[in-house]
Structure 1
Amino acid sequence: MSVYVDPLRDYPEALERGLPGRLWCHLTADTKPELHTFASRIGLQRSWFQHGDDYRWHYDLTPGKRALAVRHGAQEVDRAVFVRIVAERRPRRPATRILEIAPPEPAAAPSAAEAPAVAGPLLEWRSSAHWDYASDPSPCHLCGGPTHLLDDNGRHAHKTCVEAWYAAHPDAWAAYQREQAQKRTKKTGGKGKSRKTPDQSQEGLWDH
C-alpha cells in the first residue's frame, strides 16, 4: 500500500470557514481503495473525502491526524512530489498526429544525474485578494467544484487545481515565476512602471 502525506501548511482562511485550526495537509494514495482503507484505519470519516469525482481526490488532515498517518506507514513527501503524484492522475488529451510531415527524432533524455532539479509549483495565496467574501462558493473554472478562492485573474479556482495545472505545464510555470520575479524587483527597487497589468502573467493559460 502506497499512501502519501505532504507537509503541514498555514491556511489563514480555514478559521474563516469554521475549520478547527489553520494548519492542514493532504493525504492521498496510489488508488482510491487504498486511500479509503488507510483513512478508515486512522479514524477518518468517508464524508471527509475530497474531490472524489476528479483526479485531485484526497483527505485533509490536521496535525494530529498527520502524525497518526505517519505512524501507520504513510510516506512523507514534499509539496512538489505530492503535486506531481496528483497531477499524473489528470486525464491527458490524445496527441494530434501529423501525417504530412514526419516528426524529427527526439533528443536523448538526460540521465537522472544530469537532469536539473525543478521546483514544484507552489503558489502563495495568502492575500485577501484571493478570497471571495461577497458571494457563496462558485465553481472552480478548472474542475467545477465549489470554492471561495480566486486566482490571479479574479476567477474562482482551487489553489491545488492551479498548482496541479502548472505541474502538468512546466513551461507555463517557468514563465509565471519569471513574471513574479520581475514584479518583485520593480516593487522593491526597480524604476518605472510595468506595461503589463497584474493579470497578464497568467492570461489565457488555463482557458482550455
Structure 2
Amino acid sequence: MTVYVDDMNATFGRMKMCHMFADSTEELLRMADKIGVQRKWIQKAGTTREHFDICLSKRARAVGMGAVEISYPGDVAELMRKRKAAVPGVQP
C-alpha cells in the first residue's frame, strides 16, 4: 500500500496546496492523522477520486514519512485511470 503526494502547487489564499492520495482509505486517513490533517477535510470520500488537499509543509511531512512523490497532472491522471479500471462497471 502506498500514499502519494503530487506537485500541483495551487494557490489557496496565502498557501500553496497539493493533493494526497493513497491505495486505500485506511492508509490515506492514517497518513492524514500522522501529518496533522483533519479527517473532515477529505475530498471525494468513497470514490476513485478520494484525496486530501494539503499545504506544502504537510506534503513535506508526508514525504518524510514515506509518501511517494508523483507529478501533476500526468502521474495523477494515470493513478485515476488505474483506480477506475479496478472498479467493476466504472469506465476508465
TM-score for both structures, normalised by structure 1: 0.39
Greater RCO structure (CA 8 Å; 6+ sep): 2
Cα shift readout 1:130-161 (whole Å, capped 9, x = no counterpart): xxxxxxxxxxxxxxxxxxxxxxxxxxxxxxxx
Determine if contact 2:5/2:69 at 8 Å carries over to the other structure.
yes
**Partner of residue 32 from structure 2, selected from 36, 39, 43:** 39
Structure 2 gaps, min length 5: none
Counting aligned pairs with the same residue, the percent is 34
Aligned to 1:2: 2
Moved over 6 A (4+): none
Segment of structure 1 superposing worse, 78-87 or 66-75: 78-87
TM-score for both structures, normalised by structure 2: 0.81
The structure having more radius of gyration, on CA atoms, is: 1
Count of paired positions: 89
Structure 1 gaps, min length 5: 95-164, 169-208
User: Helix, strand or coil for the counterpart of 1:88?
Assistant: helix
**Partner of residue 57 from structure 2, selected from 59, 64, 72:** 64
**Partner of residue 81 from structure 1, selected from 55, 75, 85:** 75
In the aligned structure 1, how far is the partner of 2:57 from the partner of 2:48?
26
Once the two structures are TM-superposed, the CA of residue 3 in structure 1 deviates from its matched residue by: 0.7
> Counting strand residues as a fraction of each chain, which structure ranks higher?
2
User: Helix, strand or coil for the counterpart of 2:32?
Assistant: helix
In the aligned structure 1, how far is the partner of 2:69 from the partner of 2:34?
17
